[in-house]
């Protein structure tokens, strides 16, 4: 059995009560390569309380084994693109937001795990009059521009916490749905327990027990490492295309590092 420990990150340790603790379950569609919300569909959840939120997706235990190996054919500009199954790991991709210190700690798995520390961006939200029903909640529309993309979210005043999936936060209510203009990234609501006595903790960042952890990198350093990752993605896509006797993309046709990860490098 694998063992893990919680990394406490030199921040104050809080004794979290059940008061105002909640857990919200999302679906997360990663359509970076194709847009239009037409990508691989992950499970995700976020636990939260007054002090912080903990979001995780691409986690082995959240997915069925058959889904981890799923291939999905999609099209972009008339060309067939094959997605090679869910990108998943034992601990998943994690984002922890500490409200008081306004700091975000995250871990992302792109062939290797990267640990990132950054100051949370103060989003310039515009709240609109438009509303819609999500589950049993009346949700209000809000929009903002964040590191190269325009985002639309739907949040509810009924749950007055300023959290949302990934790095989306700062509204006067919980975000239940979110997407950018082209739906390269799309989070949709599944269910919620609020308040909750769920034993799932509002975690600090988790790392493997055996890992020789050193330090966090900046968001700019993370972007540079992703340049190497996208080159490998292209090489893998060529091999997959040859295997399935389908269209072999040219390097110039692949999304650039800026298009895929502009939030991390801008």
The full length of the chain comes to 266
The predicted structure's pLDDT at residue 15: 37
Spatial contact of 163 and 46, defined as CB atoms under 8 Å apart? yes
For the chain, domains (ranges, CATH) are 20-218 (2.50.20)
pTM over 0.85: no
Residues of the chain with pLDDT under 70: 1-19, 33, 65-85, 210-214, 247-266
Q: Cα-flanking dihedrals φ and ψ of residue 145, to 5°?
A: -105, 130
Spatial contact of 51 and 163, defined as CB atoms under 8 Å apart? no
Residues 6+ away with beta carbon under 8 Å from 27: 41, 42, 43, 44, 187, 188, 190
Q: Report how far apart, in Å, the C-alpha atoms of 171 and of each of 14, 54, 116, 125, 140 are.
A: 23, 17, 24, 7, 10
User: H or E stretch including 66?
Assistant: helix 65-68
């Amino acid at each position: 059995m694998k063992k893990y420990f919680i990394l406490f990150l030199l921040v104050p340790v809080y004794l979290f009560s059940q008061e105002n603790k909640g857990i919200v379950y999302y679906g997360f569609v990663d359509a970076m390569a194709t847009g239009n919300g037409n990508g691989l569909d992950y499970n995700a959840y976020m636990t939260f309380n007054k002090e912080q939120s903990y979001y995780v997706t691409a986690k082995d235990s959240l997915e069925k084994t058959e889904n981890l190996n799923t291939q999905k054919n999609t099209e972009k500009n008339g060309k067939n693109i094959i997605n090679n199954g869910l990108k998943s790991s034992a601990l998943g991709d994690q984002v922890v937001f500490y409200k008081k210190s306004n700091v975000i700690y995250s871990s992302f798995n792109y062939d290797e795990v990267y640990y990132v520390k950054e100051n949370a961006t103060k989003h310039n939200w515009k709240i609109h009059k438009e509303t819609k029903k999500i589950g049993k909640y009346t949700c209000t529309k809000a929009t903002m521009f964040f590191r190269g993309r325009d985002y639309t979210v739907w949040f509810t005043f009924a749950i007055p916490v300023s959290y949302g999936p990934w790095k989306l936060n700062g509204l006067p209510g919980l975000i239940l749905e979110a997407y950018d203009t082209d739906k390269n990234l799309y989070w949709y609501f599944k269910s919620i327990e609020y308040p909750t006595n769920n034993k799932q903790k509002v975690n600090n960042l988790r790392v493997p027990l055996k890992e020789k952890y050193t330090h966090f990198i900046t968001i700019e350093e993370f972007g540079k490492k992703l340049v190497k990752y996208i080159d490998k993605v292209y090489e893998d896509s060529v091999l997959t295309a040859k295997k399935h006797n389908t269209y072999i993309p040219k390097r110039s046709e692949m999304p650039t590092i800026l298009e895929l990860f502009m939030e991390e490098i801008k």
